[in-house]
Structure 1
Amino acid sequence: MDKIYSKDNSIIKHTRKLSQKKYRIQKNQFLVEGFRFVSEALKSDFQVPVILLSERVQNKWLTLESRYNICEDTKICLLEDKLFNYISNTDNPQGIAAVVNNKKINVKNEDGFYILVDKVQDPGNMGTIIRTADAAGALGILLTKGTVDVYNEKTLRSTMGSIFHIPVIQDDSLEKLNLLKKHGFKLIASSLDTDKNFYDLDLNKKVIIALGNEGNGISSQILDLSDIKIKIPMPGNAESLNVSIAGAVIMFEVVRQINTEV
């Protein structure tokens, strides 16, 4: 275990800069905090090059260390409490953080469903969509250009660790979307200009469910690419649903149909 005492240490400088999206993209890394999050990272197939510990949790770490699958190449660094607070992005840090290497992920051509997130801006909504897609067994999540950064601290916290369980793929050029469509996936988009109730669709095979921006909905570009336009029936007085709630409704209708077929 290496001890770090200075803000000028290269690891400290690097960790601090991971709060910047541009730097995260450049280094292809992101930062997670908290015992649960670090544990999820270590259990996943993501590489964890650095673990940072506050002195106040050293004894707790030594008790739990044997439970974690820690690669011998992982550097473990001990920081004074004040220095750990300096690199932390949370108001009440748990005293543990990890630098995680991102990885390239390809789409899968198999029965199931993907979620396409089109320019969703709220980190809480994005994190909830990732967590719900993980719970519903989605094959993965495609992100269009202009969608909120999934590796900022607010989005990551909202995923509750699901970021390590489900493939999240940035698809700025829509190359992955078009590849999936060539393999027989149908793109389903919600629209006010349709009478089709999504409960009437067969969602058992290859589908991509598009979820749009909180204020403007699904972009015209994605609507033009869609194979089926549907709407969620709302017999009450509300005009719309929160995007993460709408996503959950549709995703678990897929789950219901799959379970009913079995």
Structure 2
Amino acid sequence: MEYIKSTKNEKVKLWKKLLSKKFRDQTGTYLIEGEHLILEALKTNEVVEIMIQEDKTISNAWSLNHEKISVFTISEEISQHISDTKSPQGIFAVCKKRNTKVDFTKHARFLLMDGVQDPGNIGTIIRTADAAGVDVVILGEGSGDVYNPKVIRSAQGSHFHLTIESGNLSNWVNQIKQNEVPLYGTALEKAVDFQSITPAKSFALVVGNEGSGVSREILEKTDQNLYIPIYGQSESLNVSIATGILLYHLRKSI
């Protein structure tokens, strides 16, 4: 196990660069932090390197007998340097970006994000989708990066459980409609109370930008748009909360 002390080490410089989306895209890798996330990552074949602060211990649940995983001991200074948090956990891993594919013969429940930008919201939505049994999450252009460290932390490992795709949302919507999956948008105009919808085995739900909602272009392609009644004085619900309410209703009793 190689020990690295200095932040000037070339390896450390590369790990630090993984806090940048541009470098994540260039290398096809990303950084995760914390024992829980790394345990989830080790269930896949996506872990490339593991870095453990010299005064930290790992649980017996870890399986590090993988020939393709390099393990490094690092100083506390390096932990502070490569973490994007004020109080690093001292345990990190470099992972390959996920190589997943949508299969309409197997995948039945879809969640699409149209311009959702806040990393905390994106991560919470992914975690909620995982809990609700969604098969595929799709981030449209204008949405945040699924491999942003804040997204990874908020998702709490759920990005290892789902098929996650990104790209032009209109193209994905067209594919969903071609495969006769009921498509629901979220809006206030020309919409019905979500409780009037009968749950089905297969569905797709589109949720939108925190400020402007789902784009008109996408809303015009949906089979039905839904709204959640507000009974108090709040003007709206947080997008991640609204997503949870709708997902659990759409798959209720299935």
TM-score by length of 2: 0.93
Cα distance in 2 for residues equivalent to 1:181 and 1:249: 23
Once the two structures are superposed, what CA deviation does each residue of 1:211-251 show, in whole Å capped at 9, x if it has no partner? 10111011122112212112222333333211111101001
**1:154 has 2:150 as partner:** yes
Cα distance in 1 for residues equivalent to 2:142 and 2:196: 31
Cα distance in 1 for residues equivalent to 2:15 and 2:152: 16
Distance 1:50-1:181 versus aligned 2 partners, 3 A rule = same
Aligned residues: 253
Distance 1:221-1:70 versus aligned 2 partners, 3 A rule = farther
Who is 2:167 aligned against? 171
Cα distance in 2 for residues equivalent to 1:125 and 1:195: 23
Match of 2:119 among 98, 120, 123: 123
- Alignment-mate amino acid for residue 50 of structure 1: E
Distance 1:71-1:213 versus aligned 2 partners, 3 A rule = same
Once the two structures are superposed, what CA deviation does each residue of 1:26-67 show, in whole Å capped at 9, x if it has no partner? 111110001111111112x2411100111111xx23xx2563
Identity of aligned residues (%): 36
Who is 1:73 aligned against? 68
Once the two structures are superposed, what CA deviation does each residue of 1:93-136 show, in whole Å capped at 9, x if it has no partner? 12110001012321121463211011111111111101100000
Is the 8 Å Cα contact of residues 116 and 142 (structure 1) preserved in structure 2? Answer: yes
Q: CA deviation at 1:69?
A: 5.6
Q: Let me know the Cα RMSD of the aligned residues.
A: 1.8
Give ranges in structure 2 of 5+ residues lacking alignment. Answer: none
- Alignment-mate amino acid for residue 113 of structure 1: R
Distance 1:215-1:77 versus aligned 2 partners, 3 A rule = same
- Alignment-mate amino acid for residue 92 of structure 1: S
Distance 1:65-1:72 versus aligned 2 partners, 3 A rule = farther
Who is 2:17 aligned against? 17
**1:231 has 2:224 as partner:** no
Cα distance in 2 for residues equivalent to 1:165 and 1:100: 15
Once the two structures are superposed, what CA deviation does each residue of 1:9-41 show, in whole Å capped at 9, x if it has no partner? 332111110000011011111100011111111
- Alignment-mate amino acid for residue 75 of structure 1: S
Who is 2:103 aligned against? 108
Who is 1:93 aligned against? 88
- Alignment-mate amino acid for residue 98 of structure 1: A
TM-score by length of 1: 0.90
Who is 1:8 aligned against? 8
Distance 1:66-1:111 versus aligned 2 partners, 3 A rule = closer
Is the 8 Å Cα contact of residues 6 and 75 (structure 2) preserved in structure 1? Answer: no
Is the 8 Å Cα contact of residues 31 and 93 (structure 2) preserved in structure 1? Answer: yes
Cα distance in 1 for residues equivalent to 2:191 and 2:35: 48
Q: CA deviation at 1:5?
A: 2.9
Query: Which stretch shows the higher mean deviation, 87-96 or 123-132?
Result: 87-96
Is the 8 Å Cα contact of residues 117 and 143 (structure 1) preserved in structure 2? Answer: yes
**1:197 has 2:193 as partner:** yes
Who is 1:207 aligned against? 203
Distance 1:37-1:228 versus aligned 2 partners, 3 A rule = same
